[in-house]
Every structure is written in structure tokens, then in C-alpha cells.
Homo-oligomer: A and B are copies of this chain.
Amino acid sequence: MDDEAEVGMARAGLTTERLVRAGAELADEIGFERTTPAELARRFGVKTASLYSHVRNAHDLKTRIALLALEELADRAALAVAGRAGKDALTAFADAYRDYALAHPGRFTAARYPLDDETAAGGAGVRHAQMSRAVLRGYGLAEPHETHAVRLLGAVFSGYVTLESAGGFARSAPDAQESWTEIVRALDTLLRTWPTAH
């Protein structure tokens, strides 16, 4: 007694996979916070309870979307870094990160959904770290400097894009793109002259 009653009602073809993909799209459309089982069920023309055979609960759904986003981001980053080195690699890496975040704000938010240790260990987090180190290899930093630099890059990229998405730079000149270009350039300089002396 709900939607297009086809008398006998064909099945919707739900799958964990399809739910997660649709959830990711939903997140980009209406925001990750509002990506709930209820809303997702609505999109599939299905009752909320029906999701629970494919997804453990709301948290499980969000976790899976987060893992998907992390995979996608790692894929893009890998593609960007492949065949490049030094400033070229750094720029491509940075842009891949920012472009993904701006094109997929919901997924990007999802990517920072807190994961418990086991889940995180199984996900693409490791690939992200490897990618950062691949970019930094061209700058020849010894440990622990390379680790410091990995953290700096992570902080700058995620911080900048988060602030930009939140509209932090919207109402003032120069535009966000210009600052981004300049900042990446500055990071390159910084990495080439990293104060490696203690």
C-alpha cells in the first residue's frame, strides 16, 4: 500500500554494493549527515526495514560509504602521482585531492567518518600513506622528517579543502583557486629546503 503497486510487487534488487553506491551519490546530493537508511530506502522505493538484510545498521552503512570514498580517493591520487616526480607529483597529488573533494563533497565528508581500528586497517588508509611517501620520495627527506612532512601534507590538504567547502574563502579575494596554487608552490619550496638539521 505504498508506491506504484504492481500487484505482486517486483523486487527492487537491493544489494549491499548498490546501497553503498547509491548512498555515496545521495551524500553528494544532500550531504553525508542526511544520508540515512530512511532516505536511502525512499530512493529505492522500498521500506526502511528492507535495508537491514544488506546493511547491519546506519553506522555500518556510513562506514561502507566512507570506505568507498577512501578507495576512490586513493585511486585518483595513485593515477595522479603515477609517472611524475617532485613538484609535478606534488601538484598533481594536491589537485587530485582537492578536485575530488569539490566534485564529491558528500563522499569527501564520508572519507573522514571515524573508523574503528580494524575497519581502518582493512581500508585504503595504507594506500594513502604510501602515496604521500611516494610524492615525498623526490624530496629526499630522512626520517623522521618524512613522517613530519606526510602529516603536514595531510593537514594542509584536508584542512584547506574542508575550509573551502565550508565557504570559508568564498566571500573574499583572492579566490580559493589562486591561494591553492600559491600554497602548493610554497609547499614545494618548503620541502626542497626542509630544515633537516635538528
Task: Indicate whether A195 reaches chain B with its CB closer than 8 angstroms.
Answer: yes
| A194 / chain B contacts, CB cutoff of 8 Å | 186
Interface string of A156-198 (1 = CB under 8 A from B): 1111101100111101111000110011011001100111000
| A193 / chain B contacts, CB cutoff of 8 Å | 189, 193
| A13 / chain B contacts, CB cutoff of 8 Å | none
Q: Which of B154, B166, B168 contacts A159 (CB 8 A)?
A: B154
CA distance A147 to B176 in the complex (A): 10
Between A and B, 30 residue pairs with Cβ closer than 8 Å are A112-B162, A112-B166, A114-B166, A117-B171, A144-B173, A144-B178, A144-B179, A145-B182, A147-B174, A148-B179, A148-B182, A148-B186, A151-B179, A152-B179, A152-B186, A154-B163, A155-B155, A155-B159, A155-B160, A155-B163, A155-B183, A156-B156, A158-B159, A159-B159, A159-B160, A162-B162, A186-B190, A186-B195, A189-B193, A193-B193
Inter-chain pairs besides A148-B183, A154-B163, 17 sampled, C-beta below 8 Å:
A112-B162, A112-B166, A114-B167, A147-B172, A147-B173, A148-B174, A148-B178, A148-B179, A148-B182, A152-B160, A152-B183, A155-B163, A159-B159, A159-B160, A189-B193, A189-B195, A193-B193
CA distance A183 to B190 in the complex (A): 10
| A183 / chain B contacts, CB cutoff of 8 Å | 148, 151-152, 155
**Copies of this chain in its oligomeric complex:** 2
**A residues at B contact (CB < 8 Å):** 112, 114, 117, 144-145, 147-148, 151-152, 154-160, 162-163, 166-169, 171-174, 178-179, 182-183, 185-186, 189-190, 193-195
